Amino acid sequence: MAVLLDNITNCVWQAFDVLQQDKSGYVHKSKLKVLTANVGTLLDLYGVERGLEHFRSTPTLNFDQFKYYLQKEVFSSLPNKLPLPELRNYEARIAEVCWLVCRRKFVCRENKIFSDESVFQIFRIFCLLGELIPDPHTEDTYQVLLHPSEAYNIAQTLANSLGCPWDDEDFTNLSISMGTFRLTPFIAVLESRSLVGVKDGYAISEAVTDIYQTLVEDVIKKGYLTKKGYIFPTMREYWFVLRPSELSYYKGRSEKECCGSLPIEPGSRVEAKSGYRIVLHTSERAFELGTTDHMTRVQWISALQLAADHSGGGQSYQRLQVARRKMQRAGRIQEMIRARAQLQQERSARQAAEGQAKELEAAVKEEARKLTDLEQLRTKLERLLEEETQAKRDEEIVRALQARVLAEEWEKREELERLQEEQRALLEQERGKRKEFEELQTEKEDQLRAFVKNTLEVFHSLFGVSGAEVRLAQLEKERQALDEQLKLAHNKIRLSEDRRELLEARLYQVAPAFRDGDRVRRAHSFMPSTKERPVLLEVRPATLRRPTKN
C-alpha cells in the first residue's frame, strides 16, 4: 500500500542509515533481511525477506532499491485503502521495529534530559514532520530534515506546556544559523531551549506525550465529558479522547482502561442541546454528551465537527495538515522565487529606466547645451545684425560724408585746376618773359659787345684808355640793373612753384580718406580718369648766365 509506505519511509530511512557502516549509501542484504522479516511479520506476511537474495545481482542495496523491493514484495499485498485506526496501528508497529534498529544512536547520549520513551516519541514526531531529501554531498544517500517552522512550533508548544520562558528572537537566530534540523540536533535544541529550569522528568514526559498524541496519534481533543447510558439513562463522567475516526472514553486521564468508543463517520453531525449538552448523530444512533459550561460545549462541538469532516479520508488529519503546511511552504517558496524574479525584473526595469533616464537626461542636457549655443548664436547674430545695421547707418553717413567730401574735393580740384591754369599761364608768361629777357640780354650783350668794341675803338682813337673805362662802368651798371630784373622774374617763378606745391599738399591731405578698400573705389568712381586729370606742370627756371667779361 503506497500510503502506508509513504508514511513510514522516514522511519525506514533512519534504520537504513544506521545499518550502513561506511556511509556509502549501500547496506548488505543480510542486514536488510532481518529488517524486512520483522516488517513482514507485523503485516502478517512471512518469508518476504527471501526474495532479497534474488533481487538484483549485487550483495548490497541502496535505499531506493530497498524501498522499491518493499513496495513490490511487501506492501503490495495490503489493500489499497485501510481504515485510519488500522493505518495508525501499522505505522506505530513498523516505527517500533525501526526504532529498535536505530535506538542506540539517539538514546545513548551524555547529559540527556528526555527519557527513552520521550526520545522515541520525539523520533516519531520528527519522522512525521520531517522531509526526506537527497544528500547533496553523497550519491545514493538521503537525509531527513525538519523545517525551522515545524521545529519552532514543537519547541514553543513544549516550552509553553512546561511554563518555561520562550525567546522568539533567540530561536529565530538559531534557526537562521542552523537552517534545517536533523534529529539529534533537534533533540539537543529542545533540551536547551524548551526545558530551561525544568527538572521534573514526569512533567517533561507528559508534555512530550501530549504533543505526540496530538501529532502522531491524531488526537484532536481530550477532556472530561458526561455520557448518557444506553440501558440506564444516567449521565456518567468519562475521560474522552477524540480522533477523526472515533471518540474513545476512558475511566481516567491515564487512558489505561478503555470503556468504549463512539464511531465518527463522514455523515455524522453534532447538535447542541440545552443544559450544555451535545448530541452526536451517527449512522447507528445518537449519543448524548454533557459539558460543564458553554465555552467547553462550543469547543467540543467544533472538534467533533472537525473529526466528522476528516473521518472518511485515507490519510490522518495531522498528516494532511503537515502536507498542507508543506504545500504552503512550497507555495511561499515559489512565491518568493516569483517575487525575487519579479524583483529582479523590476530591478532590471528600474536599471533600464535609470539608463533611459540618464540617456534622456544626457539628451536633455545636450538639448539644453544646444539651446544655449543657439541662444548665444542668436544673441551673437542679433549683435552682428545690430552691428551690421549700425555699419550700414555708418556707411550711409560715411557715404554722405564721402559725397560731401567729394563735392568739396571737386570744388577744391576745380579750384586747384584753375590755380594750375593760372600757374601754367604765369609760367608760360614767365617763360616768355625769361625768353624775352634772355633774347634781350643776348641782344644787349651782343650790342654791348659791338658797342664796346666800337666804343673802344673810338676811344682808342679819340681819347685813349680812360674814356673807355668810363663807358665800361656805365655798361656794368646797366648789366647789374638787368640782373636785378632777372632775379625778380626768378623770384616770381619760385613763388608760383611754392603755391603749386602747397595746393598739391592740400589735395593729398584730402585724398587719403578715399584710398583704402571699397570706399576708395567708390570715391574714385566720382573722380575723372587719369586721362581727364589735369597735369601739373613743373616749371623750372632756366639758369641765367652772367655775361663774361672779355
pLDDT category at 534 given cuts 50, 70, 90 is very low
Per-residue pLDDT reduced to its tens digit, 250-259: 998 888 888 8
What mean pLDDT is predicted for residues 218-226?
A: 92
Lowest mean pLDDT among 148-157, 356-365, 511-520: 511-520
Give the N- to C-terminal CA distance of the chain in Å, as an integer.
Answer: 179
Whether residue 189 has pLDDT greater than 50 = yes
CA dihedral 83, 87, 89, 90 (to 10 degrees): 140
Q: How large a percentage of the chain has pLDDT more than 90? A: 20
Q: What's the pLDDT score for residue 520?
A: 40
pLDDT category at 83 given cuts 50, 70, 90 is confident
Higher pLDDT, residue 354 or 518: 354
Contact 274, 217 (CB under 8 A): no
Whether residue 337 has pLDDT greater than 50 = yes
Whether residue 79 has pLDDT greater than 70 = yes
Whether residue 532 has pLDDT greater than 80 = no
Angle at 148 between CA 147 and CA 149, to 5 degrees: 90
Identify any residues that bridge with 339 across adjacent strands, giving them in sequence order. Answer: none
Per-residue pLDDT reduced to its tens digit, 443-486: 877 877 777 677 767 766 765 555 556 667 777 888 888 888 88
What mean pLDDT is predicted for residues 3-24?
A: 87
Whether residue 166 has pLDDT greater than 60 = yes
Q: What is the pTM of this model?
A: 0.64
Q: What's the pLDDT score for residue 124?
A: 93
What mean pLDDT is predicted for residues 156-180?
A: 89
Grid cell 533512519 is found at 14
The interaxial angle of helices 168-178 and 183-193, nearest 10 deg, is: 160
The helix (run of H) or strand (run of E) holding residue 40 is helix 29-42
User: For residues 31 and 101, what is the distance between their CA atoms, to the nearest angstrom?
Assistant: 10
Side chain identity at residue 118, one-letter code: S
Lowest mean pLDDT among 223-237, 311-325, 511-525: 511-525
Per-residue pLDDT reduced to its tens digit, 5-15: 888 999 999 99
Q: What's the pLDDT score for residue 302?
A: 93
What mean pLDDT is predicted for residues 345-352?
A: 86
Q: What's the pLDDT score for residue 526?
A: 40
Per-residue pLDDT reduced to its tens digit, 382-431: 888 888 888 888 888 888 888 888 888 788 888 888 888 887 888 888 78
- How confident is the prediction for the chain on average, in pLDDT? 82
Per-residue pLDDT reduced to its tens digit, 223-248: 999 998 877 788 899 999 998 888 99
